[in-house]
Chain A
Amino acid sequence: MAAVTLPVVIDQLVSGLAIGGVYALVALGFALIFGVLRAAQFAHGEVYMVVAFLVLGVLPWLPWSGPLQFLLAVVAAAVFGAAAGVLIERGVFRPLAAAPHIAPIISTIGLMILLQNLVAYLKGSELHRFALAWPQGNVALGPASVPALKLVIFGTALVIPALLQVALTRTQLGRAIRATAIDPETARLMGVDTARTSAVAFAIGSALAGIAGVLVGALYGVVYATMGVSALVKGYTATIIGGVGNLVGAVVGGLLLGVFEVLVASYVSPRWTDSIVFAVLIVLLALRPHGLIGRAIPEKL
């Protein structure tokens, strides 16, 4: 094991925050959708996967390199993600609005399997190279030298939730989404078209998943048909850490999960990462059923 020095620790933290940022975006989208529709979107990870493949497909059509290519890839991911979200909301959730609660859950599980197999069939189940021209190389951060890509991913995973927070608290649409999540009937009494608001929340949540898919593609350098499974598991874990339905908690939970994973892999063993993470999760659920910061932040959604 490498000596524990400041540069090593900085390097580890940046790695943890980068992958944690991806988890945070997935978790945030998951929590937003859950908050408004009161149903888990099990195909959320597949949105992440499908969007990563779609962006991989359009990358050759983005002639720009450098930060502009990165920005456009993120924007394209958001657009594809939102479109996928609208389709899923219209196709799966809305027709089942009056059906028993279990129906949309089963349907999204079916959709998850369907999309995974469809992409595996069309694109093969092997890894597909995913490379963005920017950012490359390392940058100095204090005494450490860390990959620029990881810093940019972490930064993106901070900026996007911050923008979302502003949108949710400062705009009428944002207020309407939050009101719909808290009490849909009363929201309707205010004149809020809750079906439309739910669709918008679904689209935003799915756009976040799409962005996360592109970021993780850049981080790992590959995309593959089964990548959505771990995204769903990690995103779900992050929402539990943060407290279900708590948007700030989802982001903090994602970042904590990423850092915790890297620390366990570094100081225990990569072999035990998942086992230890889930053991801690179970203990956490037993001790604090509302999540690590579930009660500390009164403002849920």
Chain B
Amino acid sequence: MRRGRIRWLFAVLVLALLAAGCGSAGGASDSTELKIAVVGPMTGDAAQYGQDFTRGAELAAEKINAAGGVAGKQISIVTFDDRNDTTEAASVAQKIATDASIVASMGHFTSSTVYAAMPIYKSNELPLVVISASDPKITEQGNEWVFRVSPTNNLGAEAMADLIVKQLGLKKIAVFYLNTDFGKSEREYFVARATANGGEIVLDEAYQPDAKDFSSSIIKLKNAGAEAVYLSSYYSDAVLLIRQAKDAGVEARWFASGAIISPQFPEIGGQAVEGVLTSRVSQGESWDAVAAEYRSKHGAEPSPFVIYAYSAVQAIAAAAQDAGTSREAIRDGLAKIKDLETALGPLTFDENRQAVYQSFDYLVVKDGQFQPWQP
């Protein structure tokens, strides 16, 4: 009786360990399939982003497959979990790149995980399309296997610095940044442009990725005399910081990186995040069309990462269609993409395999939603 119960407990334990540790395993190679890996945080604090990646990629794959697929093949999306951890990212990348049935990979959420994984894709000659990581230097490494459809963070950061100092005339600025490759690099571009514009950084505060209690930073903010606060953050940190600061009685205008754009931001932030300003690459009709598809399927507004993932699949499919379905052919096909119609609008890779972006829109949280901002 007792022994039976112990065995039962061990079975539960083993199940739990399996549930914690596993990603989806790749199936057998199938020549009628064009297999694309989607990798990102599928579990843990940032799992929301992994889900955005998966949903965006699957939505695009369904659409393309319904229209007959690519070069006679059906696109199949396989997801992998790197838990937003650099060590895990490298080992998952190894697993993906050595699976001969996979012809392209897309994802790794943060710049840090992309940096950890990109040499592995190069040495195993598998194209990687980056769909969120925003450090400009990622595409300045001369790694010809790495492409990026999402914008670099300098663009958004500089647009926000212009808005705050030039357009709104707010000079005293506090900056909070996530202490990661993403946060540090975005902060650098923001601070450089803001000071060049004549702004003054009155508080410059880093925080750790797992921070939930911002008390000590907020006390500094309370006493810094800032007119504007800029956050190089993801939605989860930004929403906590803003709510805790408002609870503590901080009065300043809030601005944040485009990385915060997610339906969860106004949902969790509630009244506290009303009026927060951010920026996003300009959206065309194609974006709206995909957003409508997404809404009808998932009943929620898509984050930009859904659109980036969608566009990445479109780009890979176009490359395979034009140049062939081998890894190398897809790499060559991607490099040649110019003015391809994607969810993002016309997509062109520059000589560094970085998607070219022209204009930015400012968004404000109003009535619980991100809406175009009117000055």
Contacts and interface: CB of A to CB of B under 8 A. Distances in A.
Given A117-B16, A221-B240, A128 B268 contact: yes
Contacts, number: 141
Interface residues of A, number: 58
Interface stretch (B43-51, B97-105, B339-347): B43-51
A107 B13 contact: yes
Nearest to A135: B247
A3 B223 contact: yes
Interface majority SS on A: helix, strand, loop or mixed? helix
A106 B207 contact: no
- Chain B contact-residue range equals 35 or more
Contacts of B236: 126-127
Given A120-B43, A271-B208, A2 B220 contact: yes
A289 interface: no
A150 B211 CA distance: 18
Interface string B9-22: 11011011101100
B9 A147 contact: no
Nearest to B20: A113
Contacts of B215: 12, 15-16, 18-19, 150, 262, 265
B9 A222 contact: no
Contact of A222 (B2, B208, B220, B268): B268
Given A127-B264, A266-B219, A221 B243 contact: yes
B12 A222 contact: no
B6 A95 contact: yes
Given A220-B212, A221-B247, A270 B264 contact: no
Contacts of A147: 247-249
B30 interface: no
A221 B206 contact: no
A72 to B, nearest CB: 21
Contact of A270 (B207, B243, B247): B207
Contacts of B270: 129, 131
A129 B268 contact: yes
B18 to A, nearest CB: 10
Contacts of A120: 43, 47
Contacts of B243: 221
A251 interface: no
Contacts of A138: 248-249
A271 B16 contact: no
B214 to A, nearest CB: 8
Nearest to B249: A138
Nearest to A2: B223
B19 A226 contact: no
B350 interface: no
Contacts of B267: 129
Nearest to B221: A2
Given A120-B47, A127-B264, A129-B270, A220 B244 contact: yes
Given A11-B219, A99-B2, A220-B240, 8 more contacts: A8-B223, A110-B13, A113-B13, A113-B16, A113-B19, A126-B47, A266-B220, A270-B214
Interface of A: 1-3, 5, 8, 11-12, 15-16, 18-19, 92, 95-96, 98-99, 103, 106-107, 109-111, 113-114, 116-117, 120, 124-129, 131, 136-138, 145, 147, 149-150, 219-222, 224, 226-227, 230, 262-263, 265-266, 269-271, 273-274
9 contacts: A15-B213, A15-B216, A110-B12, A126-B47, A138-B249, A147-B247, A221-B239, A222-B239, A265-B217
Closest 9 CB pairs of A and B: A110-B13, A15-B215, A265-B216, A2-B223, A114-B16, A125-B47, A266-B216, A113-B16, A129-B268
